[in-house]
């Protein structure tokens, strides 16, 4: 197994980078996953022989944390019971599936897999993660890419893009996205809180 990019990952990276390798066996992936287990700032995705290795940069973490903070503020203000499951690892019963969302939530009671998975994409490219989420039956996937949200709902085994969350139909996505991108996070939370009250 030759992965040319591995030496580069010993240095801290300022921004997100993605590397895709096609044709890895599940056993090769498990070996690689064990090697990266204790290295912070690296996220792995594996689905049917396709590996995506992503280094987590500062912008990615700021956006991910902002989304989580604002969404949890929304749950609090609206009295919505939820379980935050963060970037929990979703591993298929059969070999060949390994997935971690950036943020994820179960609405209402805790479940084996979250209802909403959120992916922050700072650099384009990479694997089609909707296939992975489809395997785990994640009902909604929110992609934040090119500074905007695209929401997908699983219906009849396939994802269809939707205009608003079916779990959170009153969430104003335009306002939410605007607040996610505000540089002053205290101001963002105050603006969002004031608007949703």
Residue extents of the structural domains in the chain = 6-55, 58-86+98-196
Per-residue pLDDT of the chain (197 residues; tens, 9 = 90+): 445 545 455 444 557 788 888 999 988 998 988 888 888 888 889 988 889 888 888 889 999 999 999 999 999 999 999 999 999 888 876 678 889 899 999 999 989 999 999 999 887 665 578 888 998 999 999 999 989 999 999 999 999 999 999 999 999 999 999 999 999 999 999 999 999 99
pTM (whole model) above 0.85: yes
Q: What is the pLDDT of residue 17?
A: 82
Q: What is the pLDDT of residue 3?
A: 53
Q: How far, in Å, CA of 157 to CA of 192, rounded? A: 34
Q: What is the pLDDT of residue 7?
A: 42
User: Angle at Cα 190 formed by Cα 189 and Cα 195, nearest 5°?
Assistant: 100
């Amino acid at each position: 197994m030759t992965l040319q990019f591995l030496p580069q990952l010993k240095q801290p990276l300022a921004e997100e980078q993605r590397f895709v390798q096609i044709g890895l066996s599940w056993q090769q992936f498990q070996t690689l996953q064990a090697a990266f287990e204790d290295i912070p700032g690296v996220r792995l995705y594996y689905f049917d022989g396709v590996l995506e290795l992503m280094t987590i940069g500062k912008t990615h973490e700021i956006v991910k944390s902002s989304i989580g903070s604002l969404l949890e503020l929304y749950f609090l203000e609206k009295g919505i019971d939820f379980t935050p499951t963060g970037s929990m690892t979703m591993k298929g019963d059969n070999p060949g599936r390994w997935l971690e969302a950036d943020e994820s939530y179960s609405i209402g009671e805790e479940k084996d897999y979250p209802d909403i998975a959120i992916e922050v994409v700072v650099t384009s490219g990479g694997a089609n993660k909707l296939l992975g989420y489809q395997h785990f039956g994640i009902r909604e996937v929110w992609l934040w890419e090119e500074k905007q949200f695209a929401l997908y709902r699983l219906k009849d085994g396939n994802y269809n893009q939707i205009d608003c969350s079916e779990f959170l139909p009153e969430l104003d996505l335009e306002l939410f996205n605007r607040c996610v991108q505000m540089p002053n996070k205290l101001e963002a939370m105050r603006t969002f809180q004031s608007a949703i009250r």
